[in-house]
Amino acid sequence: MPQKKIALINDITGFGRCSVAVMAPVVSAMKVQAVAVPTAILSTHTQFPKYFFDDYTSKMRDYIQTYKDLDMSFDAIATGFLGSEEQVDIVVDFIKTFKKQGVFTLVDPVMGDYGRLYTTYTPELCEKMRALVHFADILTPNLTELCSLMGVDYRDGKFSADELEGLCRKLSERGPEHIVVTGIHYSDKQIMNYVYSRGSAPRTIMVDRIGRDRSGTGDVISAVIAGMYLNGHGFYESVLRATEFASKCIEYCEQNNVPDHWGLSVEMYLRDLMED
């Protein structure tokens, strides 16, 4: 069987274990070839006091044109943080070009957290992200991003199971078959992940709250989901493996005093993702 390839449309950050830099080794451990499509180049991510940043927007079309000229193909496409309306347009064109029959797209709509959107997210960019949802087969928003995509108030993050199901069902009607709402505050000790698949009863995955938020956690979870799903596993099983893997990495970081902004020490457990 030919080795599968996934296009990772995200920034490349040298230090900090986020975006392509952490997603590529994760999917590689699952025997999937990672193909980077950079949106920006950074020395460290923006939670560090100093960082080099090179916006790659003006170069993305020429970069992608090479893949078009080579008539390359992909088995999956995963998108992460997009910093401008133009980048969303470029991503949509990429998906229209390379999403053939049997290819799935995972969209991680990195827009904000804790009820607040990132400063780059203008109303116009939010509208572009809502349009990008139409091209997603898998969507991995947190609760803030779910609310923004649906145009509803965050309400301090208080939503019933019925309300979450209603929001996910309406969002699924726009495109994605599978949605996981990640990192929902359930209690001081637990975090809930709400798993929705069109036509099936929603399910939840509870994980222990370990330490504080760590950079790159969402990228790790998205990468494991994409790799598992690409290798033929069901969506719920893919999310379960992703949350278990992330929790294990976070626990290691806490036990070994790894700074939060250094990301998840995935290197310690990549072997756990390997399959025969």
Tokens of 111: 């827009």
Choose the CATH number for 4-273 among 3.40.50.620, 3.40.640.10, 3.40.1190.20, 3.90.320.10: 3.40.1190.20
Nearest alpha-carbon partner for 220 in 245, 192, 240: 245
Mean pLDDT of 124-142: 98
Region 66-84: mean pLDDT is: 98
* Per-residue confidence (pLDDT) for residue 29, from 0 to 100: 98
How many H helices and E strands in the chain? 8, 11
Structure tokens at 247: 């929790």
What mean pLDDT do residues 163-190 have? 96
pLDDT at position 258 over 90: yes
Res 131: pLDDT: 97
* Nearest one of 116, 95, 125 to 107, comparing CA atoms: 95
Q: Is the pLDDT of residue 77 over 80?
A: yes
Do the Cβ atoms of 97 and 139 come closer than 8 Å? no
> pLDDT band at 275, cuts 50/70/90?
confident
In 3D space, the residue among 1, 39, 5, 47 whose CA is nearest the CA of residue 20 turns out to be 39
The model's pLDDT over 184-235, given as tens digits with 9 standing for 90+, comes to 999 999 999 999 999 999 999 999 999 889 999 999 999 999 999 999 999 9
- For position 207, what pLDDT does the model report? 97
Look over the chain and give the mean of its residue pLDDT values, rounded to a whole number: 97
Left, alpha or beta for 70 (phi > 0: left; psi -120 to 50: alpha)?
alpha
pLDDT of residue 191: 96
pTM of the predicted model as reported, rounded to 2 decimal places: 0.97
CB under 8 A, 24+ apart: contacts of 54-59 = 55/83, 56/11, 57/83, 57/84, 57/86, 57/87, 57/90
Enumerate the domain spans of the chain: 4-273
How far, in Å, CA of 169 to CA of 40, rounded?
Answer: 33
